Structure 1
């Protein structure tokens, strides 16, 4: 029988594009905090210590993830994500505007509070999981969404250095205020996009709390097993298993994201001194490594989407998320072996910065096997009444990793081991986690498939 190829709903495309607005503004604002807080007052900053600036930037990241739980309870139980998402964008925009008029530490904390609360209400991810109803499409759909997410991340990380130092700087005063205002404007434009474009295509999707929007699979299961159709009915044994599987995958995400975040620090602290950053007479900014990751994500998104779709249409079916996750962690381990290879082959000389491009490809490929598919997995298997909560569990895994990778760097790369030995340790742990996922694949897959 010939397989009928379906395209993605228009609501998927327009709602995914709204995340370009959100990520662009986020990376503009987040990247500026550390520099703004520590720059001298005469140059437009607050003149505070590096420690205060680092803590503020860390708090913005941490609170943004923690607020996801608060927003999840709202969209699961009280208000549809269709409404909370644009409202959250407006609140976030107000937060960035507060940053533009900041004259002291209180303003920055208020900005962090507003941005975190606003992003906690931004629930576009769970909405996409209900726009796409075909499970075979979800992995490819979320990979394409990842391209649009990273389009905003790339523009934000690449442009911020040029904007505050060159475009908006005047008479020695750096353009922090204008950049924060730009981030605020981008979020307001994103909210308008959501109100006037996304709503047009969403229809009734997301207009009610997720507890009231059951999937077709849930409706059929209730009829088949003669379950109560009440929204507060107890979870079935299979639903509990699926939630357990989501928590388990999220725990492996902690390992992945610790090593993923960790990979950036040697770029700033080790390779900054042991690499030649000049290409054709131009001094390459170290911060462009962040932009390289986003740019490769943009390029790989459609490629991985096509790959996942092809796998899902095989006669023997798709491979499980657990194996895909194992492959992603394994590729991440390979990237650290490549770090060690660069260090060994350079000898006493400085390595060319071009090596980092290939490293970024390894790092990003591992990410594409992992990050977009987590949201897809949760959308496939989470009970509707806990969809927002389960999405926030994935975010909490990232939050824990963000808090721990600094300690991991201090232990591994802080002088206890040679650089190459530290890389081997990380690679060994990553390979071990990958093997566990492959060996346990059948048992883990039984948690989600009847």
Structure 2
């Protein structure tokens, strides 16, 4: 006899994934809070002494690639590994990457600055690859816990999003403060420990996931857990990931700029063909194709939002350090603590948004996904209008009130809640079943481009005498209007999915 799925409350598996993601984000955001200020810190303090443009470029390339590798990780999960093994592999690889960063930040350990830089870039590469296996697959399992028409699904992703931001809240206090005030290696080491805790928690709570995320074919065979051979695969893939990054770096360091350009173009074209082929093979019928089209259109607008939002770890971080009066009552607020405003706002507001969507849905007033995206753009435009005023006030070396950044971060958080958890939920609803993880990887790729533009826009715009913050203001405003105009067509193409 079939059992009726509950329509209130959430499965235990959601909370297992919640805490796993919380510790992974603790690890990532702890490292991110330190990255630009570590790179620009003087050599005498253990930093690398890079200039603003170079540090932002490294930040941009890193955060872009962090969101590109999920395409590869999504494919391996869909076709070979399943989501559970991919998450374990990714988590262990990222922990190794964090420990490599810790070693690179310790002059007494490695000594020579070139050796430290080599180890630093190796650590970043390992983090990038590990994230690819972890990031898309944990979101996919969250989606698999619910049917597409389950009214709890959007709320579940909002709760999951709280886990992300609790981790992001704790990490600047712990990893950020340790790195900035005690020593850079301690901050990165704390981030690595956080990632290991996440992996151990995921392993301990594996039974709450029931049959979700297992390797392809296991469900059909009645296998409800990972087998001994799967654990061997996890170890082999971890070793292979680190070895692959080492090999790529060795080739990169021993070849010319011309070869580098060819490598980038070949990888880019191969990646685009791979994505296109996977989507083409995994999509059939007009309903699936129009839904895939909606994902791709909304991914384009996602790039715009994150090109603005991700100023948080780049220009906002440097603005906090260079242009903000951080002394309150004789205490100087560490720069990394400003990264806490976003997660505090998320944890405070996410439950309210989760309740709001359910209440509006009950009254048949819940906005469709494209309209929520448009609202996010309008809120983002307001945030960057305010940031423009703050930047104008800081001209001439003036130190401005920290409240400017507080208001901007809170507004962008509200926009994020209108867009990011809704986007994750939307991808799991609209994706054809065979390529859900691939489409989640495509969605993550839109974050990649957003992050890259976030770090490079300032330098690009300076060439054309455009100011960064006013440009983003108008870009987001235009995007919001475009989404409202497109929403009737997109709603039609979603074929009944809200």
* TM, length-normalised to structure 2: 0.75
Partner of 1:205: 212
SS in 2 for 1:352: coil
1:432 aligns with 2:446: no
1:196 aligns with 2:201: no
Q: How big is the shift at 1:25?
A: 1.0
Partner of 2:438: 389
Q: Which residue among 331, 334, 338 is the counterpart of 2:379?
A: 331
Contact 1:77/1:385 (8 A) holds in 2: no
SS in 2 for 1:440: helix
1:104-183 to structure 2, matched below 5 A, reads 104=115, 105-122=117-134, 123-133=137-147, 134-166=149-181, 169=182, 174=183, 176-183=184-191
Q: Which residue among 329, 347, 350 is the counterpart of 1:298?
A: 347
Query: Which structure is higher in helix share?
Result: 2
Partner of 1:16: 18
1:184 aligns with 2:232: no
SS in 1 for 2:130: helix
Q: Residue by residue, what CA displacement relative to the aligned partner does 1:54-109 show, whole Å, maximum 9, x if unpaired? A: 55444432332221111011111112102211222112112222333343233223
Q: Structure 1: 5+ residue runs without aligned partners? A: 214-231
Q: Residue by residue, what CA displacement relative to the aligned partner does 1:3-47 show, whole Å, maximum 9, x if unpaired? A: x851111101111211111011112234444555565666545x5
Partner of 1:260: 309
SS in 2 for 1:205: coil
1:190-339 to structure 2, matched below 5 A, reads 190-197=198-205, 199-209=206-216, 235-262=284-311, 267-268=316-317, 275-314=324-363, 316=364, 318-339=366-387
Relative to structure 1, the CA distance from residue 304 to residue 17 in structure 2 (aligned partners, 3 Å threshold; closer, same or farther) is same
Relative to structure 1, the CA distance from residue 188 to residue 371 in structure 2 (aligned partners, 3 Å threshold; closer, same or farther) is same
Say which is worse superposed, 299-308 or 47-56, in terms of deviation.
47-56
Contact 2:176/2:187 (8 A) holds in 1: no
Contact 2:178/2:187 (8 A) holds in 1: yes
Q: Residue by residue, what CA displacement relative to the aligned partner does 1:285-344 show, whole Å, maximum 9, x if unpaired? A: 343322111211111111111111112222x35321000000001111111233345578
Distance (whole Å) between structure 1 residues aligned to residue 483 and residue 218 of structure 2? 31
Distance (whole Å) between structure 2 residues aligned to residue 163 and residue 374 of structure 1? 34
Q: How big is the shift at 1:387?
A: 0.7
Q: How big is the shift at 1:362?
A: 1.2
Relative to structure 1, the CA distance from residue 36 to residue 355 in structure 2 (aligned partners, 3 Å threshold; closer, same or farther) is closer
Partner of 1:369: 418
Q: How many residue pairs get matched?
A: 416
Say which is worse superposed, 276-285 or 47-56, in terms of deviation.
47-56
Q: Structure 2: 5+ residue runs without aligned partners? A: 1-5, 105-109, 221-280
Distance (whole Å) between structure 2 residues aligned to residue 241 and residue 438 of structure 1? 18
1:352 aligns with 2:401: yes
Contact 2:290/2:494 (8 A) holds in 1: yes
Partner of 2:457: 408
1:7 aligns with 2:9: yes
SS in 1 for 2:81: coil
Contact 1:75/1:210 (8 A) holds in 2: no
Contact 1:322/1:437 (8 A) holds in 2: yes
Distance (whole Å) between structure 2 residues aligned to residue 109 and residue 89 of structure 1? 19
Partner of 2:257: none
Distance (whole Å) between structure 1 residues aligned to residue 217 and residue 34 of structure 2? 36
Q: Residue by residue, what CA displacement relative to the aligned partner does 1:356-385 show, whole Å, maximum 9, x if unpaired? A: 322222111111101111101001111111
Distance (whole Å) between structure 2 residues aligned to residue 312 and residue 129 of structure 1? 19
1:61 aligns with 2:69: no
Contact 1:135/1:380 (8 A) holds in 2: no
Relative to structure 1, the CA distance from residue 110 to residue 359 in structure 2 (aligned partners, 3 Å threshold; closer, same or farther) is closer
Distance (whole Å) between structure 2 residues aligned to residue 59 and residue 164 of structure 1? 22
